[in-house]
Structure 1
Amino acid sequence: MEYKQFLAELDAIAKEFPCEDTQYLNARELADREWLLAEMDAIAGEFPNENEPLAVTWEDIEINDDDSQPVPKEITSKTPTSEVHALLDMYANSPTIQTGLREANKIEAKTTDINCFELKPEFDNSDLNQHFKIKKPKITAVIDWLRLEIVVGESYNFKRPRKPYNDIKDFLKAKGINDNPYVVQSSRNKRTFTIDLHDVSTGSEYENILNLLRREYQPSSLKIIVLEVALDFWNINAKSFMLALAKSIRVGGCFNNKDLRVYTSDDWQFMPAKSETAMKYTQKCYTIGIGHKTQGDSYLRIYNKVQDRNKPLPPNQHRTRIEINLRGQMLVEWGDDANNLRYLTNKAFKLLKFTHLTDDATTDQTDEYRKLVKLFGEEVSIISKSRNKRNHLDHIKSHAKLNEVVAKSVGNFIRNF
């Protein structure tokens, strides 16, 4: 409703109490009249004069700096957008604002300490739950994917001998194993193929796949040559949590390359040493990597999972994921037969253990832990102050509480196998 129309309606109401007739009004009517006139004055004062443009004075938002540049004193509704943007940029770059941002970044960098995050799934507060919907942090374990190597029996005849991998793809689709299968034929042995399986969630599902492959192809060998397992951390939206995981993950000798890096499909960088700088990459959804993707027996990734197989996930499915990929001699030594998935999965998850800063760490050690991003959880062979052999520096120890929660999550998943 236009304010002029609104005032006109108030005027009409006010005519019920004409000024010349006030001598005939009783005390209550006089009080009502005075109240109405006061309300009209107050409301009219809230509407702008149509001859005056809306304006925001710069003093309303200005933070005075001794060395700040002079700026116009007001922005009106008629100020060009480009000029408004330029003024706001000048304001954002003022020394006081920049100093405040640097201090805020330092405070935020402290949250790269894993001790800042409470990850007990049993957290509950009945009083708060009466008024708020609290999404509790939780951890779940999954097999992200695995790669089977199958050597097809000599007696099996492919329908398309020149492209036998297409026969296997059709079989996987027809049996409901995979709607978009990835099958590769070996260049050294024409009867050897690799098949990728994703999101294997139960032992019965996996066993059914193996039985279908065995009945169809009578394989002379069926092995697991790549296994990737992951921990998903739900309802923790802080991007600094990725750095906290990277700093706390226990890194043993299975990684032939222990360089910390951040990357996307278009960029690759070594992890910045300072937490404030590293935070910029996690805010931009970079992935954190440890190890080498193709060399050695393992590599590890930490990232915010917002899509699956190149398709966006709904917001309620977003989570922070840490995953470890194992292959090569490590799986051979553990026993890479396809029937050994439960054992291999359990062994793989045991590599996802976490450390944290001890309560008696010195001020310098605490400052270093909070200010820097590096593999504080890397295993080293040292002699402690008490003359005992340790796998970590004196101010770093195993994160017993977090490891216990992870172990319960892994146990719940392994139970399905």
Structure 2
Amino acid sequence: MNLESVQDDSPNYVTLTSSINHLHHLLNHYQSKLNDAVKEAENQSIIEKSNIHNYEFDRKKLKPKMLNFKNGASIQVQQRLIKIKSQIDFINMSFNTTKATQRSYIKKFLTEKIGKKHFITEEHNPSSTINSDSVASYKFNIRIHDVNNKKCIYKIINALKKNYGAFNFKITCIELAHDFYNAPPEFLTALFKSIQFDSDVQNIRVFRLRGENQSVPYEPIRLKNLLLEGFNIGVNDYRKDDVYYHFYFKKTDHNKRPLPYEEWRLRAEVRLSNLDHALEDLRNLVKLGFKKLTFTQLTGTATLEQRQLYSLYTRPYGQKLTSPILKNGHYRDFKRFICTNKNLNERLRESVKNLSNKF
């Protein structure tokens, strides 16, 4: 057993005359070295899995990936195809009624008619009242969750038209999501590092409960641990910005009820607010909105230093430059070592097409 000596005056091998204490010293030293090697391998695995270029999205090219370590060793990892599903998480619609009424009446009516509670708000008109202690309105806003197809929307709309003479339906907000199944937790970091942001995005943070906001950590292992603890990544402010991004582990439905384990997934969301789109434009709005969930990757010509930077530090590398650089007659939107991720974006376009065809 040739091991590095624990003590300067002790041999790094065992003989028939070696003491039990010497044997224990060597075993403890070997265990310590082994633990350090395992920890280094785990950390390196987290780093590698946090890079979007270590995933294959072309079904025809799916094959084992090689993970390379600092000491020159490498291991082969069998990849599974990540399942992608795109969906409308919710839409907000405004509408008018022919007669003034109260929000609570509409909510009660829809609950009885549709069998599902809906979040409804009103825009008050002080001159229109039903009685002295309640205010009625002619204009309301409704949020519809889990919009799977056109039929589920028009079921609600037709009920409102029939009972309240509702008209002038407008989409004012939409939240779109890509769900990723069969993906490791580190893939969420890879998505954040590679998503294409506009140059003016701000307030990039991780958050959990109210007041638990902090900067996105540089180290992939720290970000992974925070995400596993229930933290989310947020970009911009959904209360005032037109575009809001959200990355997290999806383990509950919109009512915070736990989902079955087999329905857990990683999610990348974008919310578009302050809209004014006719309902008939929903299909085009879906296609337009999902263009905000486009991803990048390292260029094939990235230097070793650029690759190390990309791997070791968690940053929004897909954020566009404030002033695009003109080169060879063409504008370059990203840093020199970043380009669009053709294979992933193609898979996402297929998923979005399957969704938009339902509308």
Instruction: Please give the TM-score of this superposition, normalised by the length of structure 2.
Output: 0.78
Distance 1:348 1:365, change over 3 A: same
Partner AA of 1:280 in structure 2: N
8 Å contact 1:384–1:394 — kept in the other structure?
no
For residues 244 and 230 of structure 1, what CA distance do their matches in structure 2 show? 16
For residues 271 and 95 of structure 1, what CA distance do their matches in structure 2 show? 32
- Note the alpha carbon deviations across 1:28-80, whole angstroms, 9 max, x for none: xxxxxxxxxxxxxxxxxxxxxxxxxxxxxx94995328xxxxxxxxxxxxxxx
For residues 204 and 284 of structure 2, what CA distance do their matches in structure 1 show? 29
Say what the alpha-carbon RMSD is for the aligned residues.
2.7
Matched, 1:376 2:314: no
8 Å contact 2:125–2:138 — kept in the other structure?
no
Matched, 1:196 2:143: yes
For residues 192 and 300 of structure 1, what CA distance do their matches in structure 2 show? 29
Q: Residue 292 of structure 1 aligns with which residue?
A: 237
Q: Residue 122 of structure 2 aligns with which residue?
A: 185
Q: Residue 413 of structure 1 aligns with which residue?
A: 355
Partner AA of 2:325 in structure 1: I
For residues 304 and 107 of structure 1, what CA distance do their matches in structure 2 show? 20
| Partner-residue secondary structure (3-state), 1:310 | coil
Kindly tell me the number of residue pairs found equivalent between the two proteins.
309
Distance 1:259 1:204, change over 3 A: same
Which shows bigger deviation, 367-376 or 187-196?
A: 187-196
Instruction: Percent identity, please.
Output: 26
C-alpha displacement at 1:214, in angstroms? 2.0
Structure 1: gaps of 5 or more residues: 1-57, 66-90, 126-133, 159-163
8 Å contact 1:377–1:392 — kept in the other structure?
yes
Structure 2: gaps of 5 or more residues: 1-22, 64-78, 127-136
For the pair shown, the structure with the greater C-alpha radius of gyration is: 1
For residues 305 and 167 of structure 2, what CA distance do their matches in structure 1 show? 60
8 Å contact 1:228–1:323 — kept in the other structure?
yes
Partner AA of 2:172 in structure 1: I
Q: Residue 78 of structure 1 aligns with which residue?
A: none
Matched, 1:214 2:161: yes
Distance 1:315 1:248, change over 3 A: same
Q: Residue 395 of structure 1 aligns with which residue?
A: 337
Distance 1:257 1:350, change over 3 A: closer
- Where do residues 11-410 of structure 1 align in structure 2 (5 Å cutoff)? 59=24, 63-64=28-29, 97=35, 101=39, 104-120=42-58, 136-153=81-98, 156=99, 158=101, 164-176=102-114, 179-187=116-124, 190-236=137-183, 238-252=184-198, 257-266=201-210, 267-308=212-253, 309-328=255-274, 331-332=275-276, 336-380=277-321, 381-383=323-325, 386=328, 388-410=330-352
| Partner-residue secondary structure (3-state), 1:174 | helix
Distance 1:188 1:247, change over 3 A: farther
Distance 1:295 1:96, change over 3 A: farther
8 Å contact 1:305–1:321 — kept in the other structure?
yes
| Partner-residue secondary structure (3-state), 1:324 | strand
Distance 1:344 1:276, change over 3 A: same
Higher share in strand: 2
Distance 1:175 1:313, change over 3 A: same
- Note the alpha carbon deviations across 1:365-399, whole angstroms, 9 max, x for none: 10111111111111123325546311112211110
Partner AA of 1:64 in structure 2: H
- Note the alpha carbon deviations across 1:208-260, whole angstroms, 9 max, x for none: 32222222222353211110011111111x1111110001111125xx54332
Partner AA of 1:221 in structure 2: N
